Amino acid sequence: MAGASHMLRRRCASSMANNAAKYESHKLKTPTTTASAAAAAALGGAATIPGAPAHTRTVSVQSGRSLQQKFYENRILDRYTAQEPKKVTLRQLVLFGRQLTEAKLIASANYVRSELPVRLAHRISDFQYLPYIAGTNPHLKMVYDLYWRAFDEFRKFPAIKSLNDNRRFCDNVKTNLLEHSQVIPQLGMGVAECADLVSPEEIDRFMHQMLVSRISRRTLSEQHIALSEQFDQDLRAHLGLTASEGFTEMSAAPPGFASHRIGIVRADCSVAQIINDCAMHVASIYEDAHQLPPGTAPQVIVEGHTNATFMCIPAHFSYIVHELLKNATGHVIARFASRLESDSAAEVATKPGEPLFPAIRVTICSSHSDIVVRVSDEGGGINPEMLPYIWSFTHPLKAKCLHNFHSVHRMEARVDEDDAVPPLMSFGFGLPMSNVYAKYWGGSVNVHSLPGYGVDAYVQLPRLGNVVENIANRRAHIASDS
């Protein structure tokens, strides 16, 4: 079972240094060196490895001193992991922005400034409890180093006292968000390569916590940046300044000025609208991919409480719907692929005028406290072999997909991903990632497969935005002597 990921490790090794891989297989047969080197070695002198350069199998760690530094400065981290993150609800975010004065904006800035290091610290600590060998994986190491740098930067950032300070802070945060957009692919590659070192449950739990925390930090950051920008915009308008006029000297707003925005949150997001937007996007992707005439991709019919609205962050909800529709559409097209060929139009069972593919039905149900969206397709169901592993971030059957991470450098897990990520490239992440987004706000995603027929996927999300963020502290490893 772990043979595939072992294969992946070897493949990575060979992609890093071909010589080393060949030497590896040579070594499998005879552990001893060849006779020519034996003579030199017998004298007790320094032996050299014939063939591969030593650095591919041995890495020289930084000097002992910097190792010491890294270990002992961990005490700083311990101070932060001892703190609990201060969690918010959507409602609080919305209410906060409703009457946004300068003082409140600065308070928000300081909240973000102090929250980010605490949340980062908990996740850095999670890394530190992986087995040592997993921690030396270059991909995981890179994410670990990124997180350390961010942690260090934010904890040292001085308290924010003025609007100018806030603008500087927002710039820092934006740079940070950009730099961290490579985290998901790196994590993906890292856990794939570590699949035989850590149990699948551990990896899934680790990845889930990592990603939930990542969303939470990005949400806080993006919300604050949005509020700041909107505040600035409103301030300019209030002062009658045009967009191009800078006001770097304006470090304080006139007293009594307040803006009324809520950043990236929508208090009355229309469910049907988002579903329709996603459906159009998905249809266009598949039509491009399979060169179908427009309108022939599986149709998405939205039924139920089509007027339902709820409080959410649209980007998160869109991601989930988008992933589910992509899965549904993809499976439907794959199942009825024969209908794509125009030559076999005669064999197609549909009558003229009927759509080429069975439609995907999306049902919206709104109760007092929840929104449920059901996506039903006739795509033939999920392969029974894969069924136990659809929520897992790493599994040998997915190892092939995870390899695709090598081709993308940045991924933000958003619908409006830029061109760096081919929309149809499969990483095996869609469902687990949707699960992360849903669980973050106290919701859930469930999937039921009717073998041979199709799949029903259910998304349940709280409607009123009064559920607290669902992030976990670091795993308590020293608590019990178990």
Partner 1 sequence: MNILLRPAHRCAPWKRLLGSLRKSSDDNNSDINDINDIIVGDNTSSIDTLGSPAPWKSMPSDAPPPLGQAHIRHCMDPCLASLPPNSEPSFYACHIDRYAAMALQPITLHRLLHTGTPPLTRERLLANAQYLHKERPVRYAKHVKLFQQLPFIVNLNPNLHALYTAYYAHFEELRQQPEVRTEEDQNAFVAMLVRQSDALCDIMPGVARGFHECRAYLGAAARGRFLNELIHKRIALRLLTDQHIALHRQLTAAQQQQEQGCGIAGAADQRLQGIIDTRLSLADAVRASAQEVQAACELTYGDAPAFTVDDHTGACFCYVAPHLDYVLTEMLKNAFHASVQSGHVAHSVEITVAQGAGRVAVRVRDSGGGIPREIRKRVFDYAFTTATDQADVGAPPTDAAFGNIAREQAPIAGLGFGLPMARVYAEFFGGSLHIISIEGRGCDVFLELPSIEQSKARKI
Contact between 134 and partner 1 per CB under 8 A:
yes
Amino acid at 16: M
Q: Return d(Cα 296, Cα 283) in angstroms, integer.
A: 8
Token pair 């919305």 in the structure block, residue:
94
Residue 356: CA count within 13 A, CB half-sphere: 23
The torsion angles phi and psi of 381, rounded to 5 degrees, stand at 85, 175
Q: How far is the CB of 127 from partner 1 (least distance, A)?
A: 7
Q: Where are the beta strands (DSSP E) in 283-404?
A: 300-304, 309-312, 360-366, 370-376
Measured from the CB of residue 152, what is the shortest distance to partner 1 in angstroms? 16
Q: Which is nearer to partner 1, 26 or 448 (CB)?
A: 26
Taking each helix axis from N to C terminus, what angle separates 64-72 and 74-81, rounded to the nearest 10 degrees? Answer: 20
Chosen residue from 88, 110, 114, 135 binding partner 1 by CB under 8 A: 135
**Which structure tokens are listed for 138?**
């270059």
* Residue in 18, 19, 22, 70 binding partner 1, rule: CB under 8 A: 70
Residue linked to tokens 């998304």: 459
- x/- site string to partner 1, residues 49 to 68, per CB under 8 A? x----xxxxxxxxxxx--xx
By CB under 8 A, what part of segment 382-411 binds partner 1?
396-397, 400
Nearer to partner 1 by Cβ, of 56 and 83: the residue is 56
Sole binder of partner 1 in the list 106, 113, 122, 127 (CB under 8 A): 127
Residues between 166 and 225 with contacts to partner 1, criterion CB under 8 A: 193, 196-200
Q: What is the largest CA-CA distance in the chain?
A: 87
Nearest residue (CB) to partner 1, 198 versus 215: 198
- Which residue among 18, 19, 48, 367 contacts partner 1 (CB under 8 A)? 48
Kindly state the smallest distance separating residue 426's Cβ from partner 1, in Å: 15
Q: Is 360 exposed, middle or buried (0-12, 13-18, 19+ CB in 10 A)?
A: buried
Q: Does 426 bind partner 1 (CB under 8 A)?
A: no
**Least distance (Å) between residue 193 CB and partner 1:** 7
Q: Which of residues 260-299 bind partner 1 (CB under 8 A)?
A: none
- Classify each residue of 382-418 as buried b or exposed e, where b means 16 or more C-beta atoms within 10 Å of its C-beta: beeeeeebbbbbbbbebbebbbbbeebebbbbebebe
The least CB distance from residue 117 to partner 1, in Å, is 18
Closer Cβ to partner 1, 24 or 370, answer by number: 24
Beta-carbon contacts of residue 451 (< 8 Å; ≥ 6 apart): 381, 384
Number of residues engaging partner 1 in binding (CB under 8 A)? 75
Give the DSSP letter of residue 158.
P
Among 243, 346, 349, 478, binds partner 1 (CB under 8 A): 478
Toward partner 1, which CB reaches closer, 131 or 422? 131
Q: Are 156 and 203 in contact (CB under 8 A)?
A: no
Return the number of the residue (367 or 383) whose C-beta is nearest partner 1. Answer: 383
Residue placing its CB nearer to partner 1 in the complex, 65 or 368: 65
Among positions 12-41, residues that touch partner 1 (CB under 8 A) are 12-13, 16, 20, 24, 27-28, 31-33, 35, 37-39, 41
What's the Rg (C-alpha) of the chain? 26
Q: Mapping DSSP to helix (H, G, I), strand (E, B) and coil, where does residue 13 land?
A: helix
Which residue lies nearer to partner 1 by CB, 37 or 226?
37
Residue selected from 95, 103, 107, 133 as contacting partner 1 according to rule CB under 8 A: 133
- Residue 44 sits in the site that holds partner 1 (CB under 8 A): yes
249: exposed, middle or buried (Cβ count in 10 Å: 0-12, 13-18, 19+): exposed
Q: Between 104 and 400, whose beta carbon lies closer to partner 1?
A: 400
- Choosing from 18, 26, 53, 78, the residue that interacts with partner 1 (CB under 8 A) is 78
